[in-house]
Amino acid sequence: MATTEANTEINNEPCTCMSPDGLCCGKFLSTWVGIDETNGRFGEVSIRQCHYCKRQWLHYFVEYEHLSQSGRWYRGIIDDEIAQILTQENAAEILSNLEWHFYGGSYFFGKFGRSRGQIYVS
């Protein structure tokens, strides 16, 4: 964890990625992991590395086309060790086992926030 804790703050301010809605377009480098087809859910899995603090976020997005307000995303901080073993199939389990994660999307009525424990992607 030492590497991810090194630059947690910039000018004594928490990095913008530490806000649920703070990791937006152009502020991260995205590495595609794959599509999680478990239970036919087609979750989109990627790693998003913040440009500023270099944190790596495991990002999971899923949406059911036949259901309105089903779009939801989750993201949580992972270290290099977890990044090594991450696959599209174990991504949801890894996110559920992190100390905490952010969530948002139409499924949550456009709200976002921070939570912990099981994520619901099916």
Identity of residue 90: N
The residue within the footprint of Zn ion, chosen from 45, 50, 95, 121 (CB under 5 A), is 50
Report the distance separating Cα 46 and Cα 58, nearest Å: 6
Q: Is residue 53 at the binding interface for Zn ion, with CB under 5 A as the rule?
A: yes
Taking the least distance from each CB to Zn ion, the nearer of 4 and 115 is 4
Q: Is residue 17 at the binding interface for Zn ion, with CB under 5 A as the rule?
A: yes
Beta-bridge mates of residue 34 = 45
The residue within the footprint of Zn ion, chosen from 32, 52, 100, 120 (CB under 5 A), is 52
Of 7-15, 36-44, 56-64, 103-111: span binding Zn ion (CB under 5 A) = 7-15
CA 76, 77, 82, 85 dihedral sign is positive
Q: What SS3 class is residue 91?
A: helix
